[in-house]
Structure 1
Amino acid sequence: MSNYEKLNNTSDDDLPRNVHIKTLYKWKTDFNADSVEWCPHNGFKNIFVCGNYQLIAGAEESGIKQRVGRILLFSVSAKDGLKLELEIETAAVLDQKWCHQKINQEIILAVANSDSAIELYKLQKEHKNITLKKVNTFSFPNEDDELLILSLDWSNNKSNSEPPEIICSDSKGGVHILLLTEKELVLKASIIKFHEFETWIAGFYYWDTNIFFSGGDDCILYKYDQRVGSEPISRNRSHEAGVTSLHSNCSQEYILASGSYDEHVRIWDIRNFKCPKSEIKTPGPLWRVKWDPFSQNHILVASMLGGVHVLSGLDLMKPKIVDSYYEHGNIAYGVDWSFLTEDEVRNYPQEGNVMISSCSFYDNLLCVSKLKCDI
């Protein structure tokens, strides 16, 4: 019996209840699950990936940490439910992002991994099969095998940029910008290092990708501008613990959201970087914050030990938690919004007009859910 069947053949009475967010499907991953990303492209909006990270037991005794991972490619349909299309063995996956613009008519997925590398895969449909094929890799120098690429972001989430850039952060306090040329990924710039410890997150300001941000375990949020060099142009220490997540709003100019281990989501106007416009405390340390892809007025957050939550009221800068999801038992790391339309989502069971996915680390659990959301 498959992992999907084992979980989904249980009766409704056997499953925990969530009042507002309704579980559609569950999948038990063999390795720890830490990221989920839905494909944004027409014809493939029912496709998403789940990234896995596993530290091999006993490897630390030899003094070498062996990390392995998998990229799980899933599809959902109202008829067949959740289907695993492909499983790729790879180094441990720490972050993934789909490119929002096609590159040479191809749909591209970027993956950050524990081999100090960014890998690019193209999505293909061969007959009835959906596959991912690796097309490019950029590896950073790694003398002691301890450099992890922790996060990545594309420059073209709002509008096309030529050539597209990828920003990524690493476990030694660095930030790097790569260019995707016609033939390969090349290093444009490295900023080493303004963060004292891990740079957990780096991301572009989508309205002008000369501007980018980084957040680190040193509690600092930096703002940069590529036109004036590699020195940060602003520094903020409002966060009381490590800065773990950033996301620029594609609909509201100047607006940025950040998340931190201090359990707060902060909303920024990047023109005034001295203090956030607003903030809200969540039930746990934050790992991911993501604006919804429709109205850009809701944020989906993974609160690690405190579940998954939907924030609203952000247009008025008075955020509040409007929905919560406590299906995950141990460290909710990955969350994402589906790009499926309301009409498409209504074809699936349960009430709601929006689909999301989430995953948790130590209980190896992936969930696909529906909620009612005014988007």
Structure 2
Amino acid sequence: MGSSRTRSLQVFDTELSADTVEWCPLPQYAHILACGTYQLQKDDEKNPSRIGRLYLFQFDQQQSFIPPLTEIQRTDTPAILDLKWCHTEMCGRPLLGMATACGEIQLHALRDTKDGRCLLDHVSNTELGPNRLALSLDWSTGRGDSTDLRVLTSDSTGSLTVLSLAEDNLSAVAQWKAHDFEAWISAFSYWDTQLVYSGGDDCKLKGWDLRMAPSSPTFTSKRHTMGVCSIHSNPHREHILATGSYDENVLLWDERNMRQPLSETPAGGGVWRLKWHPVHEHLLLAACMHNDFHVLHCQQATDGNGGPCPILASYILHNSLAYGADWSRLPLTGPPPSSPPPKATPASITLEEPKSHLRIQYESPTASFDTSLEDEYGRYVPDHATAVSAPAPVPDVADNSASLSCLLASCSFYDHMLHVWRWDWRPETETQSGETGPSL
């Protein structure tokens, strides 16, 4: 039988509510982690202020008897809604983009210090417009393409903005109204960066061709039944797109046919962020708000075999809304630390009949809305509330790998916690019938 284990390596109190974490994707800086926070100050109820803090950490697994994560910088900022590293260097330096509550996209450049550490230097601010919050951003560089660097961002007015980067400065080249309410998420198609996607609180997923008039989307999907808040293009496999929503479902799509998803996986919580693994094309990390963090195996779905994606692992040690999550490219060496066996990940997700009144409220990190979902009996019942069995067998994650060890980071909102953890998976390699599959 195979095995799948998640283990906490370190927990850090961010003091302010934590909502976004990003490992640097550049190999020489893969040990660098950024974390952004968001805090609504209600001292003045008519004009509440939103403050934030940007943390920079470095991870060193070689230190003995010392926690591996070390804080190396903290910077007070406007409240941060999203962070994304550029996947390529600009002028020889890594760049971190930041979407803020004051309607700006900020750029910070990473530099090496004389003592062998790194620091972020503020480079520039670009305003998206008055009276708006910048909610998300994505770089066009998801597959390592450094030509024509651009940033796509979405905001609280429902607008999208495309920004062009030249010499550390961003300038807007297009802006248009895309959604009726907050545009929670925006993303490039990494295989054709003239194609972009957006999701909004109007429950719509839309596609756009930057070569065409932005007033006309290439498609509009209402397949999600609540606000669309996460989108990620698969950087390893062309045409594969993952989307998530407050409706608690992860949908996988073939970009060539957006009328019907390839698969639908109930995640048990609003899907705030989705991240494809930086190396293994079938692994998808989901931050599921009220239902922790999960790793999905998507091969059968992306191969066209349909059905929900099995959950290989769950990290359940946060005590608040699961918002930020990311994979590190840093290879882990040595055996995992000794720890008690975690609660086993079930092979199926069953939404049981509630025995008492159950009320779940979904809150955006901007606190701009508060939605309660109940049936006529006052019970919370998400769409498609059925038991979902994990299909088997699931192939190995790589042609010749006997096991996989991954480093991840995640953060939760109201308890203002950042967790660094590892996931070790040893798939079932052979059975008497010669089939392969994981142990869930």
Determine if the TM-score, normalized by the shorter chain, exceeds 0.5: yes
Are the equivalent residues in 2 in contact too, given 1:176–1:191 (CA < 8 A)? yes
Which position in structure 1 is the counterpart of 2:190?
Answer: 206
Residue by residue, what CA displacement relative to the aligned partner does 1:246-301 show, whole Å, maximum 9, x if unpaired?
A: 00001111000000000000000011010101110012111001100111211111
Distance 2:168 2:83 in 1: 21
Distance 1:345 1:304 in 2: 31
Gaps of 5+ in 2: 340-403, 428-440
Distance 2:426 2:173 in 1: 41
2:129 to 123, 138, 141: 141
- How many residue pairs get aligned? The number is 349
1:186-205 aligned at under 5 Å gives the runs 186-192=171-177, 194-205=178-189
1:57-96 aligned at under 5 Å gives the runs 57-60=42-45, 63-78=46-61, 79=63, 80=66, 81-96=68-83
**Local SS of the residue matching 1:43:** helix
How many angstroms does 1:314 deviate by?
Answer: 2.9
1:16-165 aligned at under 5 Å gives the runs 20-60=5-45, 63-78=46-61, 79=63, 80=66, 81-128=68-115, 129-142=117-130, 146-165=131-150
Which position in structure 2 is the counterpart of 1:368?
Answer: 420
* Larger Rg over CA atoms: 2
How many angstroms does 1:313 deviate by?
Answer: 3.5
> After the TM superposition, which of the residue ranges 260-269 and 309-318 deviates more from structure 2?
309-318
Are the equivalent residues in 2 in contact too, given 1:345–1:355 (CA < 8 A)? no
Which position in structure 1 is the counterpart of 2:344?
Answer: none
How many angstroms does 1:138 deviate by?
Answer: 0.4
> After the TM superposition, which of the residue ranges 329-338 and 351-360 deviates more from structure 2?
351-360
Distance 2:24 2:300 in 1: 26
Q: Is 1:276 aligned to residue 269 of structure 2?
A: no
Distance 1:359 1:99 in 2: 21
CA gap of 1:238–1:20, structure 2 versus 1, over 3 A, is: same
Which position in structure 2 is the counterpart of 1:180?
Answer: 165
CA gap of 1:221–1:121, structure 2 versus 1, over 3 A, is: same
2:202 to 218, 222, 226: 218
Distance 2:235 2:164 in 1: 22
| Moved >6 Å (runs of 4+) | none
Are the equivalent residues in 2 in contact too, given 1:345–1:354 (CA < 8 A)? no
Are the equivalent residues in 1 in contact too, given 2:36–2:82 (CA < 8 A)? yes
How many angstroms does 1:106 deviate by?
Answer: 1.0
How many angstroms does 1:182 deviate by?
Answer: 2.4
Are the equivalent residues in 1 in contact too, given 2:319–2:415 (CA < 8 A)? yes
CA gap of 1:175–1:345, structure 2 versus 1, over 3 A, is: farther
Residue by residue, what CA displacement relative to the aligned partner does 1:179-205 show, whole Å, maximum 9, x if unpaired?
A: 01226211010011x311000000000
1:369 partner amino acid: W
Distance 1:162 1:370 in 2: 34
2:227 to 237, 242, 247: 242
Give TM-score scaled by structure 2 length.
0.77
Are the equivalent residues in 2 in contact too, given 1:47–1:75 (CA < 8 A)? yes
Are the equivalent residues in 1 in contact too, given 2:107–2:168 (CA < 8 A)? no
How many angstroms does 1:227 deviate by?
Answer: 1.3
Distance 1:166 1:350 in 2: 42
1:302 to 258, 274, 287: 287
How many angstroms does 1:350 deviate by?
Answer: 5.1
- The CA RMSD measured in Å over matched residues stands at 1.6
How many angstroms does 1:345 deviate by?
Answer: 4.2
Which position in structure 2 is the counterpart of 1:6?
Answer: none
Q: Is 1:330 aligned to residue 320 of structure 2?
A: yes
Instruction: Give the fraction of aligned pairs with identical amino acids, expressed as a percent.
Output: 37
Distance 1:250 1:119 in 2: 24
Residue by residue, what CA displacement relative to the aligned partner does 1:51-109 show, whole Å, maximum 9, x if unpaired?
A: 0001113232xx11200000000111120411001001100000000000111111100
Are the equivalent residues in 1 in contact too, given 2:84–2:137 (CA < 8 A)? yes
